[in-house]
């Protein structure tokens, strides 16, 4: 994946594919501890991104992130729409005037995840998408600091995404709809943690394949 123009369309398609492949499972997760709409919300957002692909390929990364964030925010709906939207809008601001490489990207992504924490008034351990996003952000920051090779950093990010997602199963939910269930949410993986993990793994795989 040599240049930005190719990458955007490939990455959006990789996201659509992984969510489509797991759509029944994710729908079931949100039916168990939410209202069942998470996968449909996300697919609506990803389809809107696909429709924008031609426009996005001509932009630098910061306006690309901004457009992605605004589009997810306005098309997805649900708590996850505003949170995924916030992630990218904040990344756009953090990416301004920067070349995107592992060192800058890890800082940009960490800034985005921080904004999700603020917007959701939540943190790790509350059974949300943040249980996937925070460990991945920390792993990328550590690896960038230690000059770890790019593909190795992506492999670690994948592992942290999976373990973070799995950690939500045992947790009590203290934010979002699942929090209404109290102890009954225990034993179920959080749908937003699962889709975040699937998307991070799909992006990492696409970048590793190059």
By CB under 5 A, name the binding residues for Mg ion: 30, 34-35, 37-38
Q: Which of 7, 16, 43, 80 binds ligand ADP (CB under 6 A)?
A: 80
Contact flag: residue 97 with ligand ADP (CB under 6 A): no
Contact flag: residue 112 with ligand ADP (CB under 6 A): no
Residue whose C-beta lies closest to ligand ADP = 192
φ and ψ of 147, to 5 deg: 55, 35
Give how far the C-alpha of residue 45 lies from the chain's centroid of Cα atoms, to the nearest Å. 12
Contact flag: residue 176 with ligand ADP (CB under 6 A): yes
- CA count, 13 A, side-chain hemisphere, 159: 8
Contact flag: residue 192 with ligand ADP (CB under 6 A): yes
Which of 184, 200, 181 lies closest to 192 in space, CA to CA? 200
Contact flag: residue 30 with ligand ADP (CB under 6 A): yes
In the complex, least distance from residue 33 CB atom to ligand ADP, rounded to whole angstroms? 7
Span of 17-25, 37-45, 139-147, 180-188 interacting with ligand ADP by CB under 6 A: 37-45
Handedness of CA 12, 65, 81, 48 (dihedral sign): negative
φ and ψ of 58, to 5 deg: -90, 0
φ and ψ of 81, to 5 deg: -65, -45
Contact flag: residue 191 with ligand ADP (CB under 6 A): yes
> Which one, 34 or 62, has the nearer CB to ligand ADP?
34
Structure tokens at 118: 């603020």
Q: Is 151 helix (H, G, I), strand (E, B) or coil?
A: helix
**Sites of contact with ligand ADP (CB under 6 A):** 30, 34-35, 37-38, 41, 78-80, 83, 120-122, 128-130, 175-177, 190-193
């Amino acid at each position: 994946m040599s240049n930005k123009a190719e990458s955007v369309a490939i990455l959006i398609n990789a996201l659509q594919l992984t969510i489509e492949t797991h759509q029944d499972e994710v729908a079931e997760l949100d039916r168990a501890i939410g209202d069942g709409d998470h996968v449909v919300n996300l697919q609506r957002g990803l389809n809107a991104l696909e429709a924008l692909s031609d426009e996005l390929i001509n932009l630098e990364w910061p306006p690309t992130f901004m457009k992605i964030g605004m589009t997810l925010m306005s098309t997805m709906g649900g708590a996850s729409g505003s949170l995924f939207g916030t992630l990218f809008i904040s990344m756009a601001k953090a990416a301004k005037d920067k070349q995107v490489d592992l060192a800058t990207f890890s800082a940009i992504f960490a800034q985005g995840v921080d904004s999700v924490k603020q917007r959701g008034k939540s943190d790790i351990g509350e059974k949300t998408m943040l249980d996937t996003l925070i460990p991945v952000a920390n792993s990328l920051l550590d690896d960038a600091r230690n000059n770890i090779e790019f593909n190795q950093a992506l492999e670690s990010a994948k592992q942290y995404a999976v373990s973070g997602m799995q950690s939500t199963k045992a947790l009590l939910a203290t934010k979002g709809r699942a929090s209404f269930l109290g102890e009954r949410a225990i034993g179920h993986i959080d749908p937003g943690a699962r889709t975040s993990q699937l998307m991070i793994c799909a992006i990492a795989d696409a970048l590793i394949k190059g």
